[in-house]
């Protein structure tokens, strides 16, 4: 007997095996020995004595509490940070999340994957036994989620940081610009010496003798130096700006392409946070275009100017040499203090961005529920935290800037004092002292700028880290993957041992051993809300990647085929159709490869022409972000239009008539019958058995991500309709799935009757 036949026999007999596991669940305490084993597997350090005491306190304080609540009490008592428990049935559990606790045969045991692939259960006596998955189907699992381990790395390290490597790779793709900037900076710093020499010559030769001819020669020379200095700085700035713009254009394009090709099930839940992470590239661009390269090249010249000062002023050089390491240490301390602060500030800023996007998108629901105060409170709380971080950041940065300025003034004063002594000793002239003071500013200035750039680098490094988190997300295809390009159109789509669950979630959304759809089939998926119909369609469409198993499109794995080939054969209508800013025409023909005749024909057959008739703009009707201004039914018609215009081989329609009135529904069904070719595959997800009775050549009933029944409409539909028949008139020998949602069946059976 197959698994499908076993399930059907169990459903027909009206058995519900879950009851035998739930009887003593609330009464059974969590055993300390088994918890200790689980903690050891998860690398959580806990003292056995403290664990026993925590378990005993939980048993006394929470006698009838659920296991997850008991564990929360134990974790709080043991001061375990970030450890959370989730309770669910084994049939819905993702086994990749093992080890965990399982309630089986009236007691809690540790369950984990054995070396041979078998499931191993360990009880509080330490006895280990192997079990098959089928035996544990209705058991209860207590799964622990632990905080991810974060590796500490140097802020200047590019190891593992894809975003930083991407930026610097683009930046140094051609090194000619760097050579030009270095040469220009070297010349500019040598020209700076001319200013001090000019001052020294004026005070030592021109002033005592009033030699105006000499002054004229010196001024002429300085005019040439200043002109060359201005030209080199202008060219240098323009060169860096051009490089920064080119790098920003290339990197932002690569990041955007990666975001658009993200594997949808691994994408962050908060779109505002995702947008803020990608927006971190702006601060990176501003940093590299702000002159940091100039500062890096200028800093080694601090030692060069100290050497020049030593040559001209003798002991004055020791003054600046002594203060240079003090300024460097100050910069190191500053960036270290800013490191954690800026990271926390950026995380809160991303949260605020996510909250803003949620509030804008859900403005109608917020106002209708009078919940403005709640979100306003959240905004105020986050803003207050960011302001507090910002004040601390500014305080640290200002401290470094002011201190560096004070060091520069102190260096000047000390140089004057030492210079006076040297003049008294006859080793230094007045002009030489002034020249040294001018060159002294060139020593401290690069260090001061370096400290400021170190402060800015903290923000940039955090932004790069945020962008790197986006780049680490799985894309729909790997960059180095050799994708298939099959020439033949697929004549089937099949699932083999497919299981799906969202990242960081122990709940298994889909579990299908084998399922095949062949050319020419008209399949209707029925089931209650949350039964897995939409998830199945997304897996078939290649939007969600199975956690386990394969999806075959024709003879090839769907995830090994080029996405362009997949989109050519497969078209998917989501439940919630999203419209983009533009026109009605651009939203219907997203690819832009649709003839006007075809567009008008589909618009007429689907009833989209009624939207056009209501607007003087016609097909150029302006559409705002998200399709604001159009009703849910109108959006659904536009979504259907996209599918019809695509002319796919495999049609995947998720609740295609959910938002439509009866007239529009009949029009859509007629259009489907007319446009779906004889050898096309049509799969419709719905909660209306009436659609199945009209369209389907095959009906599949789903529940909890699994298939309960699969067959012809005349075989499967009577079982659903029988639920609405009184017990006295129900034919003997016909039993329907007991666990199927009766409320949904009763409502939808009325549509058929």
**pLDDT tens digits for 180-238?**
888 888 888 888 888 888 888 888 888 888 888 888 888 998 899 899 989 988 888 88
In tens, the pLDDT along 37-92 reads: 988 888 888 888 898 888 888 888 887 787 888 888 888 888 888 787 877 777 66
- Tokens representing 572 are 């998917």
Which three-class secondary structure state does DSSP give residue 520? Answer: coil
Q: What are phi and psi of 362, to 5 degrees?
A: -105, 30
Q: Name the E strands within 466-573.
A: 492-500, 510-518, 522-527, 548-553, 556-557, 570-573
Mean pLDDT for 565-587 is 86
Q: Which of 294, 284, 327, 298 is nearest to 457 (CA)?
A: 284
> At how many degrees (to 10) do helices 281-288 and 162-171 cross?
40
Bridge partners (DSSP) of residue 475 are 262
Q: What number of H helices and E strands is found in the chain?
A: 27, 18
Look at residues 368, 267, 348 and name the one whose alpha carbon lies nearest to residue 356: 348
Domains of the chain with bracketed CATH: 18-145 (3.90.70.10), 162-471 (1.20.1560.10), 492-752 (3.40.50.300)
Q: 84 has which bridge partners?
A: 145
Q: Are 430 and 238 in contact (CB under 8 A)?
A: no
Q: For residue 694, give the DSSP letter.
A: H
DSSP conformation class of 741: -
pLDDT the model gives residue 553: 92
Q: How far is residue 96's CA from residue 444's CA, in Å, rounded to a whole number?
A: 58
* C-alpha to C-alpha distances, 334 to 397, 407, 443, 500, 720, nearest whole angstrom: 7, 15, 20, 47, 70
C-beta of residue 670 within 8 angstroms of C-beta of residue 644: no
The label of the residue with tokens 């369950």 reads 111
What is the length of the chain? 753
Residue scoring higher pLDDT (456 or 121):
121
pLDDT at 134: 65
Average pLDDT over residues 539-556: 90
* Token output for 547: 């956690």
Residue-by-residue DSSP string for 256-294:
HHHHHTB-GGGS-S-HHHHHHHHHTHHHHHHHHTTTHHH
**Helix, strand, coil % over all residues of the chain, rounded to 5:** 60, 15, 25
pTM > 0.75:
no
Interatomic CA distance for residues 697 and 186, integer angstroms:
80
Residue 438 has pLDDT above 50, yes or no: yes
What is residue 679's predicted lDDT score, i.e. its pLDDT? Answer: 92
Output DSSP code: residue 109: E
Between 155 and 186, residue with greater pLDDT: 186
Q: Is the pLDDT of residue 279 over 90?
A: no
Report, as an integer, the average pLDDT of 574-586: 86
Q: Around Cβ 151, how many Cβ atoms within 10 Å? A: 5
Pairing label, strands 492-500, 548-553: antiparallel
Confidence of residue 524 (pLDDT cuts 50, 70, 90): very high
Q: Are strands 492-500 and 100-104 parallel, antiparallel or unpaired?
A: unpaired
Measured at the alpha carbon of residue 376, what is the angle toward residues 371 and 381, in degrees to the nearest 5? Answer: 135
Retrieve residue 684's tokens.
């419709």
CB 138 within 8 A of CB 21: yes
Between residues 84 and 652, the one the model is more confident about: 652
Residue linked to tokens 């059976």: 749
Least confident of 83-97, 507-521, 719-733: 719-733
**Tokens 């100290």 sit on residue:** 306
pLDDT at 516 over 90: yes
Residue 291 has a pLDDT of 57
Token code pair at residue 375: 């979100």
| Residue matched to tokens 């794995």 | 557
The DSSP secondary-structure symbol of 203 reads I
What backbone phi and psi angles, to 5 degrees, belong to 261? -110, 20
Find which of 61-65, 146-150, 559-563 is predicted with most confidence, using mean pLDDT: 559-563
- Average pLDDT for 311-317: 83
> Which residue reads 């990041």 in tokens?
255
Q: Which residue has the tokens 């200002």?
A: 398
């Amino acid at each position: 007997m197959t698994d499908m036949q076993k399930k059907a026999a169990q459903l027909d007999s009206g058995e519900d095996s879950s009851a035998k596991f739930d009887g003593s669940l609330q009464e059974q305490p969590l055993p300390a020995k088994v918890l200790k084993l689980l903690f050891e597997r998860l690398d959580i350090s806990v003292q056995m004595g403290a664990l026993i005491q925590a378990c005993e306190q939980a048993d006394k304080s929470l006698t009838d509490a659920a296991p997850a609540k008991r564990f929360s009490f134990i974790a709080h008592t043991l001061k375990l940070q970030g450890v959370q428990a989730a309770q669910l049935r084994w049939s819905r559990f993702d086994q990749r999340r093992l080890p965990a606790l399982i309630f089986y045969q009236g007691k809690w045991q540790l369950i984990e994957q054995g070396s041979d692939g078998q499931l191993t259960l360990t009880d509080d006596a330490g006895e280990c036994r192997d079990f098959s998955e089928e035996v544990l189907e209705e058991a209860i699992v207590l799964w622990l989620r632990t905080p991810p381990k974060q590796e500490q790395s140097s802020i200047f390290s590019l190891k593992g940081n894809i975003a930083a490597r991407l930026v610097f790779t683009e930046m140094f793709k051609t090194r000619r610009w760097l050579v030009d900037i270095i040469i220009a900076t070297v010349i500019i710093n040598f020209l700076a010496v001319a200013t001090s020499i000019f001052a020294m010559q004026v005070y030592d030769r021109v002033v005592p003798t009033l030699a105006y001819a000499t002054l004229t020669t010196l001024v002429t020379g300085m005019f040439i130096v200043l002109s060359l200095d201005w030209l080199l700085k202008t060219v240098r700035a323009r060169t860096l700006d051009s490089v920064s713009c080119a790098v920003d254009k290339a990197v932002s394009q690569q990041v955007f392409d990666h975001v658009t090709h993200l594997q949808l099930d691994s994408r962050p839940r908060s779109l505002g946070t995702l947008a803020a992470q990608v927006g971190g590239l702006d601060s990176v661009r501003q940093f590299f275009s702000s002159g940091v390269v100039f500062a890096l090249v200028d800093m080694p010249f601090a030692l060069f100017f100290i050497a020049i000062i030593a040559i001209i002023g003798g002991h004055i050089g020791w003054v600046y040499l002594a203060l240079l390491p003090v300024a460097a240490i100050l910069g190191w301390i500053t960036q270290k203090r800013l490191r954690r602060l800026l990271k926390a500030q950026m995380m809160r800023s991303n949260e605020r961005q996510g909250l803003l996007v949620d509030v804008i998108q859900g403005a109608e629901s917020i106002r209708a529920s009078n919940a403005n105060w709640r979100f306003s409170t959240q905004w105020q709380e986050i803003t207050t935290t960011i302001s507090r971080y910002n004040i601390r950041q500014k305080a640290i940065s200002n401290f470094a800037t002011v201190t560096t300025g004070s060091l520069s003034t102190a260096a000047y004063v000390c140089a004057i004092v030492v210079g006076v002594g040297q003049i008294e000793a006859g080793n230094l002239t007045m002009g030489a002292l002034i020249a040294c003071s001018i060159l002294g500013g060139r020593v401290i200035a690069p260090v001061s700028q370096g400290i400021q750039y170190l402060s800015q680098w903290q923000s940039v490094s955090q932004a790069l880290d945020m962008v790197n988190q986006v780049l680490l997300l799985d894309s729909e295809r790997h960059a180095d993957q050799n994708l298939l390009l099959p020439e033949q159109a697929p004549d089937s789509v099949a699932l083999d041992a497919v299981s799906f669950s969202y990242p960081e979630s122990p709940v298994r959304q889909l579990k299908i051993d084998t399922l095949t759809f062949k050319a020419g089939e008209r399949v209707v998926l029925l089931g209650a809300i949350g039964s897995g119909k939409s998830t199945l369609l997304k897996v078939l469409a290649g939007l969600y990647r199975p956690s386990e198993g394969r999806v075959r499109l024709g003879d090839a794995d769907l995830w090994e085929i080029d996405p362009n080939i997949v989109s050519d054969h497969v078209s998917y209508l989501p439940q919630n159709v999203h419209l983009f800013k533009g026109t009605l025409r651009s939203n219907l023909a997203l690819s832009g490869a649709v003839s006007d005749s075809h567009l008008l024909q589909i618009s007429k057959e689907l009833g989209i022409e009624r939207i056009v008739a209501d607007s003087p703009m016609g097909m150029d009707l302006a559409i705002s972000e998200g399709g604001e201004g159009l009703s849910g039914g109108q959006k659904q018609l536009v979504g259907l239009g996209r599918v019809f215009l695509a002319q796919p081989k495999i049609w995947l329609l998720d609740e295609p008539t959910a938002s439509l009135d009866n007239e529009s529904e009949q029009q859509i069904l007629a259009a489907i019958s007319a446009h779906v070719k004889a050898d096309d595959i049509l799969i419709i997800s719905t909660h209306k058995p009436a659609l199945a009775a009209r369209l389907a050549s095959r009906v599949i009933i789903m529940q909890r991500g699994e298939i309960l029944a699969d067959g012809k409409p005349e075989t499967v539909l009577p079982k659903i309709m029988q639920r609405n028949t009184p017990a006295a008139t129900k034919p003997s020998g016909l039993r329907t799935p007991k666990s199927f949602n009766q409320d949904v069946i009763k409502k939808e059976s009325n549509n058929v009757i």
